[in-house]
Structure 1
Amino acid sequence: MDTETAGDGRETPARRRGQGELEAQVLSVLGEATEPVTAAWVLQRLGSGLSYSTVITILTRLHAKQAVTRTGPKRPVLWQPVANEAGLAALRMRRLLDKQSDRDAVLSSFVSVLSADDEELLRSLLAESGPGAPAAPADRPEG
């Protein structure tokens, strides 16, 4: 079992990370890079007692989620963020929405539970997106 050392020298069980927390940390570290970097570079900057294989696993998962890119088969493999933490959350939201059979109901339910400030921000962002943005569901032709 993984342990951490408390301030008084006692070993305590390691705190379990929240879902996505390690991915967010890796993305944050990648965001500090000025060019594509190796997994070893990421591991060194995380400095949290993780193994190299754990970092590779997280980077591979982020790659599958299209949140990072990686170089081809040459070694060493270099990693670069495509999305920051907010972008990763947006990708997750989009994937969840894409899995739903009734997108209109999901979006309607989502909007109905937004705070007034969040609803105003969403309206503002939609207005800013302009004419080149995808059509809203009500604007789509029936098919």
Structure 2
Amino acid sequence: MPEGDEDRPAGGRPDRRPAGELEASVLAALPAADGPLTPIAVRPALGTDLARTTVTTILTRLHAKGAVTPAPTPAGATSTPPAQDPPGLTARRMHAELNKDADRNTALARFLTDLGPQDRELLRTVLAEGPDGGATRDGRTIRT
């Protein structure tokens, strides 16, 4: 192995982030803010030194996926509030992954098989009470 390659992930650069990590970081920063953020304001919220263009690209991709909703500000910039709350965004990602699989039934069945007893019980409760049932888990009300 050539010198210096031992720290390099197979097929990638050593500084390459895992797929989706930046999008997840941006989505986490948006709801934590007091209101919608412009791409320039997202940078410090992330705590990184990403270029403004990189942040803008991430926000553009999130908009294409329906995860954020750009809105013009009085100053002419674009703010980006999240399209949904964090649980809604998680549900959106779960649906997107499920929709990618040609064998939806098997993918869903395997997901359900891998659920733990508490999650299975929560799912039964939500299904039995309907979307507005208000099932609880760990003392929190679940609204779908």
Same fold by TM (over 0.5)? yes
Quote the residue 1:80 is aligned against.
81
Cα distance in 2 between the residues matched to 1:58 and 1:93: 19
Establish whether residue 20 from structure 1 lines up as the match of residue 32 from structure 2: no
Q: Alpha carbons of 1:24 and 1:100: their partners in 2 closer, same or farther (altered >3 Å)?
A: closer
* Matched-pair contact (CA < 8 Å) for 2:39–2:79: yes
Task: Point out where structure 2 has 5 or more consecutive residues left out of the alignment.
Answer: 1-12, 134-144
Partner AA of 1:25 in structure 2: S
Quote the residue 1:110 is aligned against.
111
* Matched-pair contact (CA < 8 Å) for 1:39–1:56: yes
The structure with higher relative contact order (CA 8 Å, sep 6+) is 1
Q: Alpha carbons of 1:35 and 1:103: their partners in 2 closer, same or farther (altered >3 Å)?
A: same
SS in structure 1 at match of 2:69: strand
Task: Point out where structure 1 has 5 or more consecutive residues left out of the alignment.
Answer: 1-12, 133-143
* Matched-pair contact (CA < 8 Å) for 2:36–2:79: yes
Q: Alpha carbons of 1:18 and 1:89: their partners in 2 closer, same or farther (altered >3 Å)?
A: farther
Quote the residue 2:30 is aligned against.
30
Quote the residue 2:68 is aligned against.
68
TM-score by length of 2: 0.68
Once the two structures are TM-superposed, the CA of residue 89 in structure 1 deviates from its matched residue by 2.9
- Percent identity, aligned pairs only, is 44
Partner AA of 1:51 in structure 2: A
Establish whether residue 58 from structure 1 lines up as the match of residue 58 from structure 2: yes
Aligned residues: 120
Cα distance in 1 between the residues matched to 2:115 and 2:68: 30
* Matched-pair contact (CA < 8 Å) for 2:73–2:79: no
Q: Alpha carbons of 1:127 and 1:47: their partners in 2 closer, same or farther (altered >3 Å)?
A: same
Q: Alpha carbons of 1:30 and 1:131: their partners in 2 closer, same or farther (altered >3 Å)?
A: closer
Quote the residue 2:142 is aligned against.
none
Cα distance in 2 between the residues matched to 1:120 and 1:16: 39
Cα distance in 2 between the residues matched to 1:123 and 1:130: 12
Establish whether residue 120 from structure 1 lines up as the match of residue 121 from structure 2: yes
Q: Alpha carbons of 1:108 and 1:73: their partners in 2 closer, same or farther (altered >3 Å)?
A: same
SS in structure 1 at match of 2:81: strand
SS in structure 1 at match of 2:78: coil
Quote the residue 1:97 is aligned against.
98
* Matched-pair contact (CA < 8 Å) for 1:27–1:84: no
Cα distance in 2 between the residues matched to 1:86 and 1:126: 17
